[in-house]
Chain A
Amino acid sequence: MTLGFYPGCSLKGSSREYAESVLAVAKAFDIDLEEIHDWNCCGATAAHNMNKELSLALPARILSLAEKQGLTEIVVPCAACYSRLTVTKHELAKDPELKIAVTDANNLPYTGSVNVLNIIQMLDKYITPVLAGKVVKPFDHKVACYYGCLLVRPHEILNFDREEDPQSLDVLMLKAGATPIDWAFKTECCGAGLSVSRTSSVGRLSGKIIGDAKDRGAETIIVACPMCHSNLDMRRDSINEYLGEKVDIPVLYITQAIGIALGLDRKALGLQRHFVKVSV
């Protein structure tokens, strides 16, 4: 089976291990991920903070390219890219004038027909039904499933999971053999795009998340967003400074945790690339 694939910039650079684990898990289930040819950056936070038309035109170009390539469904593992692509589809569907302006800027036809899946939706649709039979090494750990902002909000547009206390990641991890814990920070923001320009804020926001996960006995934190991962993993020094102690709970992408349960090679899942050593 073939699915369209939009990796986005992070998965080609600072979150390379997310791409590696997505591809490794897909391969284990004979799913071929076909990358959109010549894709561009979705514009992320910078574009929608600075320029509305640009923030819609950039994702629309990606969707147009997918249409041109004959892809009807694409998986977008980065929660931020998923949000931008889905919001763009929504905005262009309800505003024909805007759609014309954006199509004109891009000089590419756009119909809005491509189905956009986040990583959890992709796993649920194609892998969860057959997961149990392939788990060789149950992920037998207490996990804090952290959803962050952009997977679940705004609910009015994404229409995915509950916006307070979502469940989809917890259910998936349960099927991979883990024990998801109850905790309070599932959808609190990690500090996202302020990582470089205001690292102290990220230390505080991510610190609260790591602190609560630790207090509730989590052995691992599970994420599905490269920004959440960068902040919780790469910014651990700032987090520990905020917490006033050294917390070394590792942060795994959902596809890395599932990959471990499938018995896939740890290097193929990119576990060695993390800042906080993956001891599980």
Chain B
Amino acid sequence: MSSDTHHSVISGLGGEVLEHTEVKVSHCYQCGKCSAGCPLSEEMDYPPSVIMRMLQTGNPVLEDKVLRSFSIWVCLTCEMCFARCPMSIDIPKMMDFLREKSLNEKKANPKAKEIIAFHKSFLDSIKYTGRLYEIGLFVDYKTRTLRILEDMALAPKMMKRGKLNIIPELIKDRSGVAAIFRKSNKKNKN
């Protein structure tokens, strides 16, 4: 890679990002196009360009704030930031890494509880059946979040339109899919 000739030692979280994703936070020159284009910026505690700056400082206090931020969870991975970055910094790939690390270190922002619960319910559903079972996902999510009443009107309307399967689609090789989950969870505590 050509930029390897411009060697600079990046330590801390920015260094880990580089090691695991090849994303160089040092390349960001703070133009702000990511934050301007990000559809969720206004709901974030730190917009993407500020996350980049926090990582550039190498300050452990700011790095900890990044891992505890709501921003990394409300990021939709819509890829707009990457598309518009003049330095082609793959911010969404970095966000995936930061989310996984935040979870493993039990630093996930409390405001992200519902977002994370939804992801967990989704993955549990496919772990057991191989495919997404939407009613199962709904029930599991509601059990995790106790947001019982929300969307209750939606399910019967979906049912009426043939958009919800009562019976889950079960694949044959469920043990194969379960093995994928087991093996990929070895390095990951979730």
Contact = CB atoms under 8 A, between A and B. Distances in A.
* Interface class of chain B by DSSP: helix
A179 interface: no
A217 to B, nearest CB: 24
Interface residues of A, number: 58
Interface stretch (A21-29, A54-62, A112-120, A129-137): A54-62
A49 B77 contact: yes
B180 A154 contact: no
A205 interface: yes
Contact of A46 (B119, B131, B157): B119
B63 interface: no
Counting chain A CB atoms within 10 Å of each CB, which of B88, B97, B99, B115 scores highest?
A: B115
Nearest to B177: A40
Given A51-B184, A196-B151, 5 more contacts: A40-B177, A49-B119, A54-B184, A150-B79, A275-B161
Contact of A45 (B74, B77, B164): B77
B130 interface: yes
A14 B180 CA distance: 26
Interface of B: 39-40, 43, 74, 76-80, 82-83, 88, 90, 92, 96-97, 99-100, 103, 114-115, 117-120, 122-123, 126, 130-132, 134, 138, 141, 150-151, 154, 157-158, 161-165, 169, 171-173, 176-177, 179-181, 183-185, 187-188, 190
Contact of B118 (A15, A189, A197): A197
Contacts of B97: 52
A38 to B, nearest CB: 5
Contact of A50 (B99, B132, B180, B187): B99
Given A51-B188, A53-B188, A57-B184, A14 B163 contact: yes
A156 B138 CA distance: 35
A73 B154 CA distance: 37
9 contacts: A39-B171, A40-B130, A40-B131, A40-B177, A54-B185, A57-B183, A107-B176, A150-B79, A275-B161
A145 interface: no
Contacts of A274: 161
Contacts of A196: 118, 138, 141, 151
A272 B99 CA distance: 40
For the complex of A and B, list the 7 residue pairs with the smallest distance between their C-beta atoms, beginning with the closest: A153-B79, A9-B132, A189-B78, A53-B184, A46-B122, A46-B119, A54-B184
Contacts of A61: 176-177, 180
B126 A198 contact: no
A15 B150 CA distance: 21
